[in-house]
Each structure stands twice: as C-alpha cells, then as structure tokens.
C-alpha cells in the first residue's frame, strides 16, 4: 500500500511500518514464529529480521508503496504483516503488484486477513489505479487460498509455479498456486 497511508476497517488499522523497536520486534516475530511460518522456508533471528526489515523499508521507499502492519483498531496491538508490494520474481509471475498477509495465531479464524485484504484491494484499484493484483501461496496453504477466493480473486492454474526462493530440499513448500484480480473484476 502507499507509504504514509493508513487504512481503517471495522476492526483493523493498516499502516506503514515505522523504524521503531516495537515494529522491529513484531517484524521479528512474523519472521521467526514457527506457527506463522508453516508454509515458509526460512526463520530469522533478530539480527536477520532487522536486516530484512531495513531492506523491506528501502524497497517500500523506492517504489512508494509496500508491505504494512495490521493493528487492532482499538488497542493498537500488532496482529499481522500485510499490504501491497511490487512483485520481486517478475520472471516467474510477471510484472505488477502482489497482495499478501501473515497474521499471528491469536488472530486466526476471525476473518481479519479477509477484512484487510478487501480494504487493500479497494486501495490498490481505486486509489493507486492498479490494473491487476496477484496473490500466491503454497498449494497446501488452504487458509490463504480461502482468503484469495473469499475476496474474489480467480485461480490461474496455468500460472501455478515452483517458487524460485524455496530450496529444492523443501519440495513440500515449492509449488505455489497463483491467483489474480483485474481492476474491473467484481469484488466480494
């Protein structure tokens, strides 16, 4: 999502990551928590997470938009990593913007990823003027795939791919399902 933008939903506030100890600590959690990373190949220690945090913020500033943090609207407790960001593996997925999410286990099953994703799609299409937004996940990541379907994204099985960032030693995480939405598609 655009930098310095705050999106508000019924239960969430979605905002740009700040260079603060609180945001860095939460970023470390979403990059080290075993439950949250079930479908990801890497866990990062605090130093590695801080380096990735700096890289993510630099990319966000370079493009003018990117990943964000989702907070509880009432308490400001951080609940997830979400947003719209430039696709990095363009040779595999094509050019454009991806939507994504990763929430803390205590937020699972409450519809928060869907709520945030709907706000992000509206922001992307209506405010940023995007033509297409894509999403992808490990083919066995049924919760994320369900969010993609709930927000109206369409599966593109001919575009499913083996993720180049996943080591061959982790074949169970390699295959990814590809979904997309065009600006004129109905939003759910």
CATH number assigned to the domain with residue range 7-182, chosen from the 4 options 3.40.630.30, 2.60.40.1080, 2.60.40.420, 3.30.450.40: 3.40.630.30
Domain boundaries defined on the chain: 7-182
- Per-residue pLDDT tens for 24-36? 999 999 999 999 9
Residues in the chain: 188
Confidence at residue 138, expressed as pLDDT on a 0 to 100 scale: 98
Taking CA atoms, 101 is separated from 67, 84, 115, 158, in Å, by 9, 9, 11, 23
Confidence at residue 2, expressed as pLDDT on a 0 to 100 scale: 95
For the chain, the average pLDDT equals 96
CA distance 121 to 71: 18
Confidence at residue 187, expressed as pLDDT on a 0 to 100 scale: 81
* Residue reference for tokens 């630099």: 58
Bridge partners of 85? 98
- Per-residue pLDDT tens for 132-163? 999 999 999 999 999 999 999 999 999 999 99
Q: Is the pLDDT of residue 107 over 90?
A: yes
Confidence at residue 4, expressed as pLDDT on a 0 to 100 scale: 85
The model's pTM is 0.95
Q: 165: pLDDT confidence band, cut at 50, 70 and 90?
A: very high
Q: Do residues 98 and 85 make contact, with C-beta atoms less than 8 angstroms apart?
A: yes
CA distance 188 to 185: 10
What mean pLDDT do residues 21-25 have? 98
Q: Do residues 85 and 128 make contact, with C-beta atoms less than 8 angstroms apart?
A: no
Residues in contact with 169: Cβ distance below 8 Å, sequence separation at least 6, in sequence order? none
């Amino acid at each position: 999502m655009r930098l310095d933008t705050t999106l508000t939903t019924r239960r969430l506030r979605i905002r740009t990551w700040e260079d603060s100890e609180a945001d860095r600590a939460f970023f470390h959690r979403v990059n080290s928590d075993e439950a949250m990373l079930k479908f990801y190949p890497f866990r990062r220690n605090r130093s590695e997470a801080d380096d990735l945090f700096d890289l993510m913020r630099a990319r966000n500033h370079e493009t003018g938009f990117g990943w964000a943090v989702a907070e509880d609207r009432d308490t400001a407790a951080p609940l997830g990593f979400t947003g719209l960001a430039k696709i990095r593996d363009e040779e595999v997925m094509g050019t454009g913007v991806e939507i994504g999410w990763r929430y803390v286990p205590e937020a699972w099953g409450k519809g928060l990823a869907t709520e945030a994703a709907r706000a992000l799609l509206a922001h992307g299409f209506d405010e940023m003027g995007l033509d297409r937004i894509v999403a992808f996940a490990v083919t066995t990541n049924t919760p994320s795939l369900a969010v993609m379907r709930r927000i109206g994204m369409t599966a593109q099985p001919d575009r499913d791919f083996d993720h180049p960032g996943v080591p061959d030693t982790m074949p169970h995480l390699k295959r990814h399902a590809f979904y997309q939405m065009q600006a004129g598609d109905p939003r759910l």
